Structure 1
Amino acid sequence: MADQTTNQDPRSQYPGTEAQTGETIEHPGRTEDMPQEPDHGEHTYRGSGRLDGRKALITGGDSGIGRAVAIAYSREGADVAIVYLPEEEDDAQETVRLVQEAGRKALAIPGDIRDEQFCTDLVQRTVDELGGLDILVNNAAFQMNQAGGLADITTEQLDRVFKTNLYAMFWITKAALPHLKPGSTIVNTSSIQAFDPSPGLLDYATTKAGILNFTKGLAQQLAEQGIRVNAVCPGPIWTPLIPATMDEEKVDSFGGDTPLGRAGQPAEMAPAFVFFASQESSYVTGDRIVATGGKLA
């Protein structure tokens, strides 16, 4: 576990590819089934009240980056609602426990964001049960690596990727806008795939580029309302989605091609989401933070 209070060599701060067995797990992937569990900041993230009293909604908040953000937000003083697939209930309840452990209110909303009505309802439920909405994090995503590239991407897969990654973001954000007041923030999870697409993730990469353009355009639209919109663009991050959607060879070498020589951990992404949600980034909108282990984007 990394101690974030001291200077450390970022190459060895976390285990590298030597700790990755290449073992795959069943989709959508549970944290406890991973051969090497990620660090979400459970033992390291220390809050300082930067989000006191705020209400946050995080899609895909049960595990991976979403869990790390939920932990960080709650320790910064925010109440948190998370959205997740019903089959990820165990992971979701662990995130709920961690948020409550920080002394904040936690709301768990199971469902499939490919359904427009569910997207509308989850926003209203968040507002009703948390008492408002100040921070929206569009983080949920689906990917499935296809070695054959475009030829192997079925219409069924394309539909799932686009609806999960793009349609839901439009639906949820549209439903959230009437509830967001000046000073509210929207943070979208894009990816290095938006700039450097992997052939086997062509559909996923296309959506991540779309998320970045959505961020830039919406930021211009909402600036006059005092609402900021930004994006975080992670590189290879060790989450359940990786062993659940990639073959053993890719899992085994995941992150090894970065200049730092390893995959990133969800805990290393959370501070970027906190920055964009807090007043510390009050003059930043339509922008991005790229955290890729040194891979140029």
Structure 2
Amino acid sequence: MATQAPITHFTGTRVAIVTGGAQGIGKAIALRLAADGFDICVDDVASKIHLSKEVVAEIQQLGRKAIALPYDVTKEQEVKEMVEKTVAELGRLDVMVANAGIIQDHLNSVMEANIDEWESIWAVNVRGTVLCYKYAAIQMVKQNPGGRLIGASSICGLQGFANAGAYCMSKASVRSLTQTASLELNKHKITVNAYAPGVIETQMKRYIPKFNGRAGIRSALDRIFDQDKPGMKGMSIPEQVASLVSYLASPESHFLTGQTIAIDGGLVFN
């Protein structure tokens, strides 16, 4: 049985990378960690660099250092460079929040699966998370002592939903990877956990017509808007997810590892 990862004794300024940090949940996480005293690397795709720089400006107003990087998490060399650039600019790496992810635009069953489309989702949600965990862990082991790897799963990683197989598979993979990596990295004082949001206000609103407009789908959204079901009402906001990540990134969470924690108003029980 793995022993607990002891609380880190590092007392200097801690540094976090947040991928997909230009908007939505990623932005909320970056701002919350900055408020917690972290210096931040805000990473997102090149097309969103202007948004990333706006987040950096907000972080700097909080009195923290921050950089904006345009690296693609599906490309191994770019993830490696993202970690190296962060360490060069900010001094170290203590927390990796592998938040970048995409959701499928077209709902379809397994019988209708477009494998190219499904694999494009897996490239970001699975491959990207693996690469972020890999290169962050290498850096954390090198610098010592310890660190935090935090991944973005979903309620769709805890329970399957009809016609959303590509996304559900990808987020279940994050959960599985998080368990495996926690066992491998515990000896290095690195904890590995994931957050599993339900439906988030800024991110999911545009998908409501797609979910509710297709016959036969008993989706998460159908259940959320069933006002007769207690604990399943409405959507959460990114700041609520950021609060959970804040704890997972903190020294106080040193005894918590390998977990995927739902934050969904009781929609899915883990």
- Bucket of the pairwise TM-score, normalised by the shorter protein: 0.7 to 0.9
Counterpart code for 1:198: F
- Offset of 1:266 from its aligned partner? 0.1
Relative to the length of structure 2, the TM-score reads 0.84
5+ unaligned residues in a row in structure 2: which ranges?
1-10, 214-220
For the residues of structure 2 that align with 1:104 and 1:140, how far apart are their CA atoms? 22
> Aligned residue for 2:198?
235
> Aligned residue for 1:268?
240
Counterpart code for 2:185: L
Matches within 5 A, 1:41-190: 53-180=13-140, 181-190=144-153
- The 3 A distance-change label for structure 1 pair 135 and 251 is farther
Identity score, percent: 28
5+ unaligned residues in a row in structure 1: which ranges?
1-50
> Aligned residue for 1:281?
253
Counterpart code for 2:128: A
- Let me know the Cα RMSD of the aligned residues: 2.1
For the residues of structure 2 that align with 1:132 and 1:195, how far apart are their CA atoms? 33
> Aligned residue for 2:216?
none
For the residues of structure 2 that align with 1:282 and 1:93, how far apart are their CA atoms? 32
For the residues of structure 1 that align with 2:158 and 2:130, how far apart are their CA atoms? 21
Counterpart code for 1:274: S
- Offset of 1:242 from its aligned partner? 4.7
CA offsets per residue over residues 11-32 of structure 1, 9 Å max, x none? xxxxxxxxxxxxxxxxxxxxxx
Other structure's SS at 2:201 match: coil
| Residues 149, 192 of structure 2: 8 Å contact kept | yes
For the residues of structure 2 that align with 1:139 and 1:171, how far apart are their CA atoms? 12
Q: Greater helix percent: which structure? A: 2
- The 3 A distance-change label for structure 1 pair 153 and 83 is farther
Relative to the length of structure 1, the TM-score reads 0.77
Structure number with greater CO (CA < 8 Å, separation at least 6) is 1
- Offset of 1:289 from its aligned partner? 2.1
- The 3 A distance-change label for structure 1 pair 251 and 80 is farther
Counterpart code for 1:65: I
For the residues of structure 2 that align with 1:167 and 1:249, how far apart are their CA atoms? 26
Runs of 4+ in 1 over 4 A off after TM superposition: 251-255
